Amino acid sequence: MRESLPVSVRINGKIYELDYERELSCSEESINEDLKSQAPLFAWYAVMQELADEAAAEMKLALEITQARLGEKHRAALVAAGVKPTEAMVDAKVKLDEEYQSAVILRNDCDKNAGILRAIKEAFNHRKDCLISLASNMRCQSDPEIFIKKQEFREKK
């Protein structure tokens, strides 16, 4: 048995607890509700993914700006200390800077959120296919004429 993974994402400063496993589930007992909830749930996760992608793009830009600003700062500090800085020296100083490391962590978090939401949104496409198959199978089972034709088709093979 696999372990349930609690997932929360932060988008634009707000934390969303995702009950994706329950929302992705479907069964014969709840087929009508599952069919009705498919489009709104897909839309919600699609919008969330777009917002997360936008936040990730903004964080990428913020990281690049931080990296450039810190590069200038550390280059100037090295020159002021009488050292002729190389790109490797400046790059190393930037990577060791706590501000840069914090920006990288924030960027990675935004990328993770976007990836999680992308995966859940894709799972809703699979849920849709499952719902269609489940509804079709239930219809076949409830309509004896379809069931008999299906059996006849199998016997001809």
Contact 110, 52 (CB under 8 A): yes
Which tokens in the block code for residue 102? 């914090």
The whole-number average pLDDT for the span 18-40 is 93
State residue 3's pLDDT score.
78
* Cα separation, 75 vs 93, whole angstroms: 9
Task: Give me the residue spans of the domains in the chain.
Answer: 7-18+38-156
Which tokens in the block code for residue 3? 């372990």
Q: What is the DSSP string of 102-145?
A: HHHHHHHHHHHHHHHHHHHHHHHHHHHHHHHHHHHHHHHHH-HH
State residue 150's pLDDT score.
58
pTM of the entire predicted model: 0.80
Helix runs in the chain, H state only:
20-24, 31-80, 87-96, 98-142, 144-156
Residue 108 has pLDDT above 80, yes or no: yes
pLDDT above 70 as % of the chain = 90
Span 58-97, pLDDT tens digits: 999 999 999 999 999 999 999 999 999 999 999 999 999 9
Residue 137 has pLDDT above 60, yes or no: yes
pLDDT above 90 as % of the chain = 76
State residue 153's pLDDT score.
63
The whole-number average pLDDT for the span 18-35 is 92
State residue 28's pLDDT score.
87
* Cα separation, 53 vs 9, whole angstroms: 12
State residue 157's pLDDT score.
61
